[in-house]
Amino acid sequence: MNDKLVFLGLLYFVQGIPYGLQSSLLPVYLRGAGHSLTRIGFTKILYFPWVLKVLWAPLVDRIGTKRRWLVGTVSGLALTCLSSAALAPEAHIWGVAGTLLAMNTLASVQDIAVDGAAVGLLKGRGELGLGNTAQVVGYKAGSVFAGGGLLAVIDVAGWSWMFMLLTFVYAGVALFVWGAPVLDDETVKGQQADGSRRGGQGADAMRPWRVWRKLLAVPGTPWTVLYVLTYKLGEQGAVTMFPLFLLDHHMTARELGFWNGVIAMGFSICGSSLGGLLLAQFSIGALMRRVFVLRTVSMVFQSSLLTVLEPSPLMKGMAVLSMSVQHFLGGLITTLTFTTMMHCTQRAEESIQATHYSFLATLEVLGKLTFSALAGGVVDWFGFQVAFLFFLTLSAGTALHVWTATFTGALREHQLKEQPK
């Protein structure tokens, strides 16, 4: 079991590196170089391959082996980082954008392959729980490493040396995967054989509208679709823009890399881990009601800090506290959200459950990315204070949406308890 956890944790770790680079390191680096918040916000479009991964998932599932897909994608990430080491981001902004687009594309394909491997490797409820913990913690640890640790030393080491380090990391993981004995397990090979047998179920594939009708007919799906598209809107705006406000007025890039990229992300990992423990003790509806209200209160506190423009130790302390609380609640909400998505998917026919979950996961990414891309423009047009009032309104609206659903809609406790076994 330990071999499986190390294998999965390492792959999810390197999968989180592109997210950390783009969400934490790149915005601070570009802001320090004088780029507008609108341009920085539009870099979120580079995440778009994650929205499209549902289209090439069947290709990964039916052609080749999981080992070959994993070695190929991780090796491709190593080569991409090697080529990026020759770039100067101030002079080659489009080259940097191309690098991140390529990294997101390769990481999204890697995600499909490692998820497929995990399905074959993990047995029983105990292993599934530990495996999902390895996924969340590994991914966020990779994000912390890239977005916090590297940001803290980039002024000293420089762009080229940073990407050379990432090249060696990816190359080492590719060699590890190539020789990993856990992929020799027959259950992983069996997944591919099953995929070949399912190739005969092509009638619906030739009539995709039938599949969409089936997906939307699953009980709770319309509510869940609206929820996953909107639940992170206000939070994403605040999490993306508040560090840039601090960079403009209160912190250096190195300080921000440590406090936001390492400490706050550490709180996010704690929140995600706590979510799994709380779900074993309390109903998901009761948890979501309380956590969403707490998130709204934390955004009120964070918004109030925007009125302070003069640097001071007290302001720095309040800012770190605000970011830590926001990331902790965000990690907790993410765990609750993916559990809600799984509950909804369990109501679907077994033959479409995988497609149903991929559909919800794609919409979840789409909702976050769309607003993240627009948040910088909102701040540039209206200023931080008005923009954060808008973010707060969105967060309060989502809290109301969840609160209502726990009593009259898709999150009623008795509905979730009556899932098919």
Q: Do 365 and 245 reside in the same domain of the chain?
A: yes
The number of beta carbons lying within 10 Å of the beta carbon of residue 10 is: 20
The one-letter code for the residue type at 121 is L
Whether residue 192 lies inside any domain: the answer is no
Task: Provide the token pair at 376.
Answer: 């910088």
Whether 93 is in a domain gets the answer yes
Q: What is the pLDDT of residues 173-228, one digit of tens each?
A: 999 988 888 776 534 444 444 544 444 444 444 455 666 677 788 888 888 899 99
Residue 200 in domain: no
| Number of domains composing the chain | 2
Q: What Cα–Cα distance (Å) separates residue 366 from each residue in 49, 65, 123, 393?
A: 10, 28, 31, 20
CATH, residue 281: 1.20.1250.20
CA 189 vs. chain centroid, Å, equals 28
132 pLDDT band (50/70/90 cuts)?
low
Specify the DSSP element, H or E, that contains 299: helix 284-304
Query: Considering the domain boundaries, does residue 9 fall inside one?
Result: yes
> What integer pLDDT is reported at residue 390 of this predicted model?
92
Residue 190: inside a domain:
no
Same domain for 44 and 123, yes or no, is yes
> Looking at the structure, do residues 229 and 346 belong to the same domain, yes or no?
yes
Residue where a domain terminates, one of 121, 150, 184: 184
Which of the 8 DSSP states describes residue 218?
A: S
Residue 199 lies in a domain: no
Asked whether residue 378 falls in the same domain as residue 247, the answer is: yes
The CA-to-CA distance between both ends of the chain, in Å, stands at 25
Residue 4's pLDDT is 79
Which one, of 75, 81, 49, lies nearest residue 150 by Cα? 81
- Asked if residue 198 belongs to a domain, the reply is no
Q: What is the mean pLDDT of residues 112-127?
A: 66
Q: What is the three-class DSSP state of 412?
A: coil
Q: In one letter, which amino acid is 265?
A: M
Asked whether residue 177 falls in the same domain as residue 217, the answer is no
Model pTM score? 0.69
CB 410 within 8 A of CB 344: yes
* Statement: residue 170 has pLDDT above 90: yes
Based on the fold, state whether residues 146 and 287 are members of the same structural domain: no
Share of the chain above pLDDT 70, in %: 75
Measured between alpha carbons, how far is 320 from 312 in angstroms, rounded to an integer?
A: 13
Confidence of residue 415 (pLDDT cuts 50, 70, 90): very low
pLDDT bracket for residue 139 (50, 70, 90): confident
Same domain, 312 and 217: yes
CB 128 within 8 A of CB 342: no
Overall average pLDDT of the 53-61 stretch: 71
In a domain, residue 244? The reply is yes
The set of residues, in sequence order, having a beta carbon less than 8 Å from that of 178 and lying 6+ positions away, is 67, 71
Q: Which amino acid is at 303?
A: S
Tell me the per-residue pLDDT of 360-379, one tens digit each, with 9 for 90 and over: 878 887 888 777 777 878 88
Helices (H), 43-182: 49-62, 66-84, 93-121, 124-144, 150-157, 159-179
Cβ–Cβ < 8 Å for 242, 318: no
pLDDT at position 32, please? 67
Name the domain boundary from 184, 200, 223: 184
Which 3 state secondary structure label does DSSP give 312? Answer: coil
- Check if the beta carbon of residue 62 is closer than 8 Å to that of residue 103: no
The answer to whether 366 touches 231, Cβ cutoff 8 Å, is no
Let me know whether 213 and 180 are in one domain: no
Same domain, 216 and 104: no
HSE (side-chain half, CA atoms, 13 Å) at 64: 15
The helix or strand, by DSSP H or E, that contains position 259, with its residue range, turns out to be none
- Residue 32 structural domain: 1-184
Report the number of secondary-structure helices (H) and strands (E) in the chain: 21, 0
Do 179 and 283 have their domain in common? no
**Can you tell me the distance from the alpha carbon of 342 to that of 330, in angstroms, rounded to the nearest whole number?**
18
Q: Which of 184, 201, 236 is the last residue of a domain?
A: 184
Tell me: do 302 and 256 sit in the same domain. Answer: yes
Q: What is the pLDDT of residues 82-117, one digit of tens each?
A: 988 877 666 666 777 788 889 889 998 888 788 767
Whether 178 and 237 share a structural domain: no
